[in-house]
Amino acid sequence: MLEREEILETLRMLLEERLDIRTVTLGVSLKDCASRDIDETCSLIEEKLLRVGSRLVSEAQALEEKYGIAIVNRRVAVTPLANVISPALHGVSGEEGREAAVRAALALERAAAKLEVDFIGGFSALVEKGFTPAEEALIDAIPEALSRTQRVCSSVNVATTRAGINMDAVLKMGEVVKRTSELDYRACARLVTFANAPGDNPFMAGAFHGEGEGEAALNVGISGPGVVRAVLEKHPEASLGEVAEVIKRTAFKITRVGELIGRELSRRLGVSFGIVDLSLAPTPFPGDSVAKIIEAMGIARCGAPGSVAALALLVDAVKKGGTMATSYVGGLSGAFIPVSEDAGMAEAAREGAITIDKLLAMTSVCSVGLDMVVLPASTSASTVSGLIADEAAIGVMNNKTTGVRVILAGKEGERVELGGLLGYAYVMPVSEHSCEAFVKRGGRIPSPIHGHRN
Amino acid sequence: MKKERAVITVIGEDHPGIIAAVTSACAELGINIEDLSQTVVQGILTMTLIVDITGKDLRELQRRLASVAEEQRVKIIAQHEDIFRYMHRI
From chain B, the residues in CB contact with A69 under 8 A are 83
Tell me, what's the pLDDT at A281? 86
B62 touches chain A (CB under 8 A): yes
B48 with B36: CB under 8 angstroms?
yes
Closest CA of chain A from B87, distance in Å: 5
* CA pair distance A13, A224, nearest whole angstrom: 8
Architecture in CATH for domain A1-448: Alpha-Beta Barrel (3.20)
ω into A368 cis (within 30 of 0): yes
- The residue of chain A with its CA nearest to that of B61 is A66
CB A282 within 8 A of CB A341: yes
Contact A279, A332 (CB under 8 A): yes
CA-nearest residue to A251 within chain B is B87
Q: Does B76 touch chain A (CB under 8 A)?
A: no
Contact residues on chain B for A249, CB-CB shorter than 8 A: none
On whether any CB of chain B is under 8 Å from the CB of A366, the answer is no
Q: Which residue of B has its CA nearest to A256?
A: B87
Nearest CA in chain A to B51: A1
Amino acid at A3: E
Instruction: Specify whether the CB–CB gap between A253 and B87 falls below 8 A.
Output: yes
Q: Helix, strand, coil proportions of chain A in percent (round to 5)?
A: 50, 20, 35
Average pLDDT, chain A: 95
Higher-confidence position of A139 and A451: A139
Task: For B7, name the nearest residue in chain A, comparing CA atoms only.
Answer: A7
Measure CA A316 to chain center: 19
Superfamily of domain B5-88: ACT domain (3.30.70.260)
pLDDT in tens, A362-416: 999 987 789 999 999 999 999 999 999 999 999 999 999 999 999 999 999 999 9
Q: Look at residue B60 in the predicted model and tell me its pLDDT.
A: 96
The answer to whether the beta carbons of residues A452 and A380 sit under 8 Å apart is no
Interface check for B42 against chain A (CB to CB < 8 A): the answer is: no
Vertex B15: Cα angle to B11 and B21 (nearest 5): 75
A6, A7, A66 ranked by CB distance to B58: nearest: A66
Q: Which residues of A touch B44 (CB under 8 A)?
A: none
A to B CB pairs, distance under 8 Å: 55
Sequence-distant (≥ 6) Cβ neighbours of residue B21 within 8 angstroms: B68, B71, B72
Split at pLDDT 50, 70, 90, the class of B2 is: confident
Interface check for B7 against chain A (CB to CB < 8 A): the answer is: yes
d(CA A201, CA A329): 10
Q: How confident is the model at residue A280 (pLDDT cuts 50, 70, 90)?
A: confident
* Residue A279 in this model has a pLDDT that exceeds 90: no
Phi, psi of A337 (to 5 degrees): -125, 55
pLDDT of residue A287: 81
Contact A6 B62 (CB under 8 A): no
Exposed (0-12), middle (13-18) or buried (19+): which is A91, by Cβ within 10 Å? exposed
Mean pLDDT of A238-258: 95
ipTM of the complex: 0.92
**Is residue A103 packed enough to be buried (19+ CB in 10 Å), middle (13-18) or exposed (0-12)?**
middle
Q: How confident is the model at residue B10 (pLDDT cuts 50, 70, 90)?
A: very high
Residue B20 Cα distances to A198, B7, B16, B68, B80, angstroms: 54, 17, 8, 10, 22
Residue A170 has pLDDT above 80, yes or no: yes
pLDDT at residue A296 greater than cutoff 80: yes
Is B88–A11 a contact, with Cβ atoms under 8 angstroms apart? no
Nearest Cα to Cα of residue A196 among A143, A155, A137: A155
Q: Which of B77, B79, B86 sits opposite A256 (nearest CB)?
A: B86
Predicted confidence (pLDDT) per residue in A320-344, tens digit:
999 999 989 999 888 888 999 899 9
pLDDT band at residue B1, thresholds of 50, 70 and 90?
Answer: confident
Check: CB of residue B79 under 8 Å from CB of residue B72: no
A38 vs A16, more confident = A38
Give the pLDDT score at A229: 92
CB-nearest to A2 from B50, B58, B62 is B50
Q: Among A389, A363, A356, which residue's Cα sits nearest to residue A177?
A: A389
- Kindly report, residue by residue over A96-154, the tens digit of the pLDDT: 999 999 999 999 999 999 999 999 999 999 999 999 999 999 999 999 999 999 999 99
Shortest distance between the Cα of A253 and any Cα of chain B, in A, equals: 5
Bridge partners (DSSP) of residue A402 are: A195
User: A56 at the B interface (CB within 8 A)?
Assistant: no
pTM: 0.94
Which chain A residue lies closest to B46 (C-alpha atoms)? Answer: A8
Distance CA A355, CA A349 (A): 7
Please name the residue of chain B whose CA is at the shortest distance from the CA of residue A324.
Answer: B90
Q: How confident is the model at residue A420 (pLDDT cuts 50, 70, 90)?
A: confident
- Asked if B82 lies within 8 A of A260 by C-beta distance, the reply is yes
pLDDT above 80 (res A1): no
In A116-189, which residue ranges form alpha helices assigned H by DSSP? 133-147, 167-184
The answer to whether A257 faces chain B, any CB pair under 8 Å, is yes
Residue B55 has pLDDT above 80, yes or no: yes
What pLDDT does residue A453 have? 83
d(CA A318, CA A257): 14
CB contacts of A253 in chain B (<8 Å) are 87-88
Which has the closest alpha carbon to A334: A374, A377, A290, A301?
Answer: A290
* Inter-chain residue contact A253 with B87, CB threshold 8 Å: yes
A7/B9 Cβ within 8 A: yes
Provide the mean pLDDT of chain B. Answer: 95
pLDDT in tens, A32-90: 999 999 999 999 999 999 999 999 999 999 999 999 999 999 999 999 999 999 999 99
What's the gap in Å between the CA of A370 and the closest CA on chain B? 32
Closest in A66, A68, A259 to B86, CB measured: A259
Query: Which residue, A201, A216, A211, A266, is CA-closest to A51?
Result: A216
B37 neighbourhood in chain A, CB within 8 Å: 4
Contacts of B4 in chain A (CB under 8 A): none
Query: Does B86 sit within 8 Å of A257, measured CB to CB?
Result: yes
Measured between CB atoms, which of B35, B46, B80 is closest to A67? B80
**Ramachandran assignment for A306, one of left (phi > 0), alpha (psi -120 to 50 degrees), beta (any other):** left
Q: What mean pLDDT do residues A279-299 have? A: 91
Backbone angles phi, psi at B42, to 5 degrees: 45, 45
B35 vs A1, A10, A257: nearest CB:
A1
